[in-house]
């Protein structure tokens, strides 16, 4: 049984048919990446998993449990963490308060403190800025904060939406090193990323999404060697 499985998902924005029968799986311990052009449906796929958008047809299964119609906070409680596109931190809250917001469903104060300690171990920069307002952080620091906040509830799977967006190349490298480290520590990750070359370099498997449909899937190596992918997404 896959940790996460999408079965023939059809999602809409009004009359716009955004996802047209998307099916994919993520196994425990994997990094799976979803690549595609702007407007292909990558973010919509994550929204359809996380409960921010309810598909009109198809199923989303987490460890075999149907979470398709669950509200977003229930999906989160079931074990789906989300690092949203654009980071979505709370700019007027401190770093520590942002982290605590990531654990709003956690009742055990000791568990919350463990999450904070883990965040500060993973990202020492955040510890240095614990009392600083989130909105005053650099783009890279905000991405670290968004990632750490997504881990505060100890999710079964972490959905990451464009973590490298708007970052300088050196920070992109740092973020991808963090993703690899998180996975090595046992975090399962579904990664949406426009930097296909970087995403494929760290992923185990990959799916290519085009105008709302999966057009190619395989191991990251297989997908990276596909001629159409090399031309369209890798600049080769």
For 132-135, the CB contacts below 8 A with 24+ separation are 132/94, 132/95, 133/91, 133/92, 133/93, 133/94, 134/89, 134/90, 134/91, 134/92, 134/93, 134/94, 134/95, 134/98, 135/89, 135/91, 135/92
pLDDT at 106: 82
Please state whether beta strands 157-161 and 188-192 pair in parallel, antiparallel, or not at all (unpaired).
parallel
Domains by residue range for the chain, with CATH: 1-79+157-236 (3.40.50.300), 88-154 (no CATH)
> Looking at residue 23, what is its pLDDT?
98
Sequential pLDDT tens for the chain (236 residues)? 899 999 999 999 999 999 999 999 999 999 999 999 989 999 999 999 999 999 999 999 999 999 999 999 999 999 999 998 877 889 999 999 999 998 888 888 888 898 899 899 988 999 999 999 999 998 888 988 999 999 888 899 999 999 888 778 888 888 898 899 889 989 999 999 988 999 999 999 999 999 999 999 999 999 999 999 998 888 76
| pLDDT score for 171 | 81
Predicted confidence at residue 138, as pLDDT, reads: 87
């Amino acid at each position: 049984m896959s940790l996460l499985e999408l079965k023939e998902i059809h999602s809409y924005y009004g009359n716009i048919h955004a996802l047209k029968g998307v099916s994919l799986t993520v196994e425990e311990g994997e990094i799976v990446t979803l690549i595609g052009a702007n407007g292909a449906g990558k973010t919509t796929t994550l929204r359809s998993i996380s409960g921010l958008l309810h598909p009109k047809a198809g199923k989303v299964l987490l460890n075999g449990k149907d979470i398709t119609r669950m509200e977003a906070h229930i999906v989160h409680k079931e074990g789906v963490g989300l690092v949203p596109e654009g980071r979505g931190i709370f700019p007027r809250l401190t770093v520590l308060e942002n982290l605590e917001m990531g654990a709003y469903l956690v009742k055990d104060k000791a568990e919350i403190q463990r999450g904070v300690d883990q965040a500060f171990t993973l990202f020492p920069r955040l510890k240095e800025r614990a009392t600083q307002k989130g909105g005053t952080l650099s783009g890279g620091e905000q991405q670290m904060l968004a990632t750490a906040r997504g881990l505060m509830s100890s999710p079964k799977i972490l959905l990451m939406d464009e973590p490298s967006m708007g970052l300088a190349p050196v920070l992109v490298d740092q973020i991808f090193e963090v993703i690899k480290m998180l996975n090595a520590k046992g975090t399962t990750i579904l990664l949406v990323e426009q930097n296909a070359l970087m995403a494929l370099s760290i992923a185990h498997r990959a799916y290519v999404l085009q105008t709302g449909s999966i057009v190619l899937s395989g191991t990251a190596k297989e997908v990276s060697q596909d001629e159409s992918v090399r031309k369209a997404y890798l600049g080769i």
